[in-house]
Structure 1
Amino acid sequence: MTSQGQQGRIAQEMAPDVYRLELPTPFNVGAVNVYLVKGEKLTLVDVGPLTGEAWRALTTGLDEIGVSVEEIEQVLLTHHHVDHCGLLERVRKISGAKTLAHPLAAPYIELDEEFMDFHDRFFTELYRQSGVPQEKMYIIERFHQLINTFSEASRIDVHLKHEQIVPGLPQWQVLYTPGHSQSHLSLYRATDRLMIGGDHIIKHISSNAFIEPPRDRSGVRPLTLVQYRTALQMCADMDIEQVLSGHGEPVLDHRELIFARLRKNWERTDTLRRMLGGGEKTAYELTALLFPTLYEKELPLTLSETLGHIDLLTILHQVDVREEGGILYYSV
């Protein structure tokens, strides 16, 4: 089966029982890949954003494979970001499919109001501590606009955990690969060393270790960059022939790519430490220095990256922190 870029087709056969469907998104990351896996249960891995364009591409791609939405028996989410889960409820209503995902995806998928209130309080405090100007706090509301525009409330029927076998797909094993998202899962099949990696490993871009609220709602945020590095190292130790990513082309040299990303990661940490040599700075100020052309447009992503590198320096006792007026100032 040919790819969309070759002869206008949306679906591409990646293995005898695994098909990639490339769906358009309105986001800077570009198209998202979802995967149809044929097994004991016909499984769709991710569904794309809630847009008419993505829906038409999904139904057209399934038709090219000879499958209809009504035949989907279960949807497995790699994580809860809207470009991967937005069409979930629409697929469920038509097919009656069950949803499988990590339990930490649940409040985002269900649009739990209590959690969303906690989410806003968490980020308000985080951004205030980071020195984000008050006029830029609108990014918290923009998150809600994003969710309400490109997804709708749904539900998760089956919670998945690390190293369990995927229900209905007995050859596939669940891997918990947090960092990009607290709910992020990958799938691995040992028989042909195939991995469906979501946004964990992407060929053309380094996944952002995005800060999210803590699972226990304690206010103590997870160290997402540390999580991401650990999950990458876990995958580097595995025998993987091919990673089918959530965006872009398959990764055929996962170890080489992972080691390059880890090296570049430390280089950015060193860059941030050198920036602090000129005097103490807030996380927001460091973000502006690290990402001068991007930080205003993508502040949640770039600030997450900066805070991740501060976390690494903190673990190594290479940074000092001072609090004044509720704002944290870092120095070396």
Structure 2
Amino acid sequence: MKRIQLGNTVFEGENDVYLLDGETTALVDTGVALPDVRRDLEAGLAEHGVAFADVDAVVLTHWHPDHAGLAGEIQAESDADVYVHEADAPLVDGSEAPLFADRDLQRETFDRWGMPEADRERLTAFFDAVSADLSGRPADVTTFGDGDAIDAGGVELEAVHLPGHTAGLTGFAFDPREIPGREPVGAERGRAAPGEELFAGDALLPRYTPNVGGADVRVDGPLAAYAESLARIVARDFDAAHPGHRERIDEPSLRAATILDHHRHRTRRVLDVLADEGPATAWEVSAALFGDLSEIHVLHGPGEAFAHLDHLADAGVVESDGTAYRLVDPSPDVDALFPTTPLDDAVDGSEG
């Protein structure tokens, strides 16, 4: 397994593409469909004697352009199979438009968040400036569901559905002993029987907490979905996670529990905003939490605030008139709104 890092100035920093080149050749994710990123990927593959035309399979963690954008171009040159979870497939095969390309969906979303007109125009201008070609050409896709097995590069990948950041975000569990020359992380720690590792996509990142609410507005109950995904990662106790951005995560269960605790803290901050300021929209809560935002964060800030407000509304802690949220229960048990894990005590008090 080889990690190829690609430049990314638009989203969450360097993208990771993973090359599996055993009996066949496969990629986990691809990078965004921009000329300089394509050149980065071609150069990274060439270092290992691989060209786009040699790729037999592309396995996508999710639909976002910085992960799936080049899938169609690779497929056009190689006739590779492109695998993506059934919930994200329409955004990879081109049958559904993402938020940044759908004006009707934008209007509906921004109305729900209470976003002012000037900020809508600012965000739309950003979309228009950076998003025109990010998704690349559509790909013919093969869909899968949770628990399905995919043979990629001679390695069996188990699909582990981890929704929240997107509806179909999927990690792929694998036995590192199936990869020629790959020393399992568990062996590095002196374990007698190294365990599974995970291609995590954006379900788990080493430096950031993946956005929920704004990253995929199709997700129903995004924070609840993501909290359950984090709890699932903790329960699986992977030896290592290989994320969609930046470096390997050597203690994925601890990282997942830390992010889960971060969301408990953020929920308390949202409640404080409503207690101090009275009824507020997702946009107003976002401003109180994050201040002034720019570029993609104009989407992610209110989306994150909405995800927390929506979670509180589902629990009956707040109520909404469709845009503004009013506190109903001033002293809820926030911990009870999230799944518990065996590592909660180890991370209590951390902001993630």
Which TM-score band (shorter chain)? 0.7 to 0.9
Which of 161, 173, 197 is residue 176 of structure 1 equivalent to? Answer: 161
* Structure 1 segment 15-94 matched on structure 2, within 5 A: 18-94=1-77
Asked whether the 8 Å contact 1:25–1:31 carries over to 2, the reply is yes
Structure 2 portions without partners, runs of 5+: 178-194, 329-352
Which of 234, 259, 262 is residue 261 of structure 1 equivalent to? Answer: 259
Q: Which moved more, 1:75-84 or 1:147-156?
A: 147-156
Distance 1:156 1:40 in 2: 23
Q: By how many angstroms is 1:147 displaced?
A: 3.7
Asked whether the 8 Å contact 1:106–1:155 carries over to 2, the reply is no
Distance 1:165 1:307 in 2: 35
In structure 2, relative to structure 1, the CA distance for the partners of 1:118 and 1:294 (3 Å cut) is closer
2:246 aligned partner = 248
Q: By how many angstroms is 1:145 displaced?
A: 5.4
* TM-score, normalised relative to structure 2: 0.80
1:230 aligned partner = 228
Which amino acid in structure 2 is aligned with residue 251 of structure 1? I
Q: By how many angstroms is 1:112 displaced?
A: 3.0
Distance 1:144 1:40 in 2: 42
In structure 2, relative to structure 1, the CA distance for the partners of 1:268 and 1:213 (3 Å cut) is closer
Which of 165, 170, 174 is residue 189 of structure 1 equivalent to? Answer: 174
In structure 2, relative to structure 1, the CA distance for the partners of 1:322 and 1:84 (3 Å cut) is same
Distance 2:295 2:24 in 1: 44
Distance 1:58 1:256 in 2: 31
Distance 1:158 1:145 in 2: 31
Q: Which moved more, 1:307-316 or 1:139-148?
A: 139-148
Q: By how many angstroms is 1:122 displaced?
A: 3.2
Q: Which moved more, 1:255-264 or 1:311-320?
A: 311-320
1:217 aligned partner = none
* Structure 1 segment 1-332 matched on structure 2, within 5 A: 18-112=1-95, 119-138=102-121, 139-140=123-124, 142-143=126-127, 146-168=130-152, 169=154, 171-190=156-175, 192-211=195-214, 212-214=216-218, 222-278=220-276, 279-294=278-293, 298-323=297-322, 327-332=323-328
Q: By how many angstroms is 1:213 displaced?
A: 4.4
SS in structure 2 of the partner of residue 36 of structure 1: strand
In structure 2, relative to structure 1, the CA distance for the partners of 1:122 and 1:200 (3 Å cut) is same
Which amino acid in structure 2 is aligned with residue 201 of structure 1? L
Asked whether the 8 Å contact 1:124–1:140 carries over to 2, the reply is no
Asked whether the 8 Å contact 1:233–1:258 carries over to 2, the reply is yes
Asked whether the 8 Å contact 1:197–1:245 carries over to 2, the reply is yes
Distance 1:100 1:317 in 2: 39
Q: By how many angstroms is 1:156 displaced?
A: 3.3
Asked whether the 8 Å contact 1:43–1:73 carries over to 2, the reply is yes
SS in structure 2 of the partner of residue 110 of structure 1: coil
Q: By how many angstroms is 1:142 displaced?
A: 4.6
Asked whether the 8 Å contact 1:288–1:295 carries over to 2, the reply is no
String of CA shifts for 1:193-239, please: whole Å, max 9, x gaps: 1111111111111111144344xxxxxx6111111111111010013
Distance 1:238 1:106 in 2: 26
SS in structure 1 of the partner of residue 44 of structure 2: helix
In structure 2, relative to structure 1, the CA distance for the partners of 1:152 and 1:145 (3 Å cut) is farther
Distance 2:42 2:295 in 1: 36
SS in structure 1 of the partner of residue 132 of structure 2: helix
Which amino acid in structure 2 is aligned with residue 234 of structure 1? R
Q: By how many angstroms is 1:53 displaced?
A: 2.0
String of CA shifts for 1:144-179, please: whole Å, max 9, x gaps: 654422232312331011011114455221111111
Distance 2:283 2:29 in 1: 33
Q: Which moved more, 1:115-124 or 1:127-136?
A: 115-124
String of CA shifts for 1:115-135, please: whole Å, max 9, x gaps: 879953333122113211122
Q: By how many angstroms is 1:137 displaced?
A: 2.4
CA RMSD of aligned residues (A): 2.4
SS in structure 2 of the partner of residue 201 of structure 1: coil
Which one scores higher on RCO, CA 8 angstroms, separation ≥ 6?
A: 2
In structure 2, relative to structure 1, the CA distance for the partners of 1:114 and 1:85 (3 Å cut) is closer
Distance 2:295 2:29 in 1: 30
Matched-pair identity in %? 24
* TM-score, normalised relative to structure 1: 0.84
